[in-house]
Amino acid sequence: MKRLQRRTKRSAAASTPNTTTHALSAQIGTYQNMLATRWQALPPRDQLALAVLSVFLLLFIGGYGGYSIHQAAKASKSNYQEQVSDYFWLRAQAGNIDNNALNINNTTNGVADMPPANRISALLNNSGITDAQVVAAGDSVQLRFVHPSQAVVSTALGKLKQQGWQFMQLSMQQNLADKSIEVQATVTS
């Protein structure tokens, strides 16, 4: 018995239309009828003028909207490409960061307190050259090291020059067996 009552309640609820949807569609229908009667009441010349004006407005709004969207997309694309190029430039410059200079700037003693041989040794270590022999000889510093990469050697020598060291003597020889580069130099500040 309860089943029958539930079924009748469900079927009764499903059979009654939603009054808000019906009222809204009726209101839209009356509005459309009113516009249609007003349109028919206009003279043909006014109808043509309104149609041309409507087409012009649609084209103008659509054209301007498309143009503004195109400009925004173009600006976004150029901004993205600029950010990508900046990212790759920064990534390429990562090897040029002198960690020793960053560490020295953070210390309280600074570069002036370090002996010249220690400064050169630290600069070579930060450039990727390990086991370099650095010896102070009066006002000059003598250094000797062997490294397999010509790029690392030239970067290290460039950093020495950037730090204000002048080469009094420079000898570079390449070992033909393992292609490593042996550097012997005397520098002064």
Which residues have a Cβ under 8 Å from the Cβ of 85 and sit 6 or more positions away? none
The whole-number pLDDT of residue 109 equals: 46
Residue pLDDT, tens place only, 135-157: 888 888 898 988 888 888 888 88
The whole-number pLDDT of residue 156 equals: 87
In this structure, the answer to whether residues 22 and 83 fall within a common structural domain is: yes
Contact of 133 with 147, CB cutoff 8 Å: no
Which residue, among 111, 106, 95, has the nearest Cα to 156 in the 3D structure? 95
Q: Tell me whether residue 83 is in a domain.
A: yes
The whole-number pLDDT of residue 108 equals: 45
Residue pLDDT, tens place only, 113-128: 678 888 888 888 888 8
Contact of 113 with 138, CB cutoff 8 Å: no
In this structure, the answer to whether residues 78 and 119 fall within a common structural domain is: no
Q: How high is the mean pLDDT of the chain? A: 82
Check whether 52 has a pLDDT greater than 90: yes
Give the residue numbers spanning the domain of 121: 110-188
pLDDT band of residue 45 (cuts 50, 70, 90) is very high
Residue pLDDT, tens place only, 61-101: 999 999 999 999 999 999 999 998 888 888 877 767 666 55
In this structure, the answer to whether residues 82 and 117 fall within a common structural domain is: no
Which residue, among 135, 115, 100, has the nearest Cα to 145 in the 3D structure? 135
The whole-number pLDDT of residue 74 equals: 95
pLDDT band of residue 16 (cuts 50, 70, 90) is low
In this structure, the answer to whether residues 68 and 139 fall within a common structural domain is: no
In this structure, the answer to whether residues 87 and 122 fall within a common structural domain is: no
- Which of 56, 91, 126 is the last residue before a domain boundary? 91
Q: Buried b vs exposed e over 35-70: b needs ≥16 C-beta within 10 Å?
A: eeeeeeeeeeeeeeeeeeeeeeeeeeeeeeeeeeee
Q: What is the CATH classification number for the domain harbouring 168?
A: 3.30.70.60
Q: pTM for the whole thing? A: 0.41
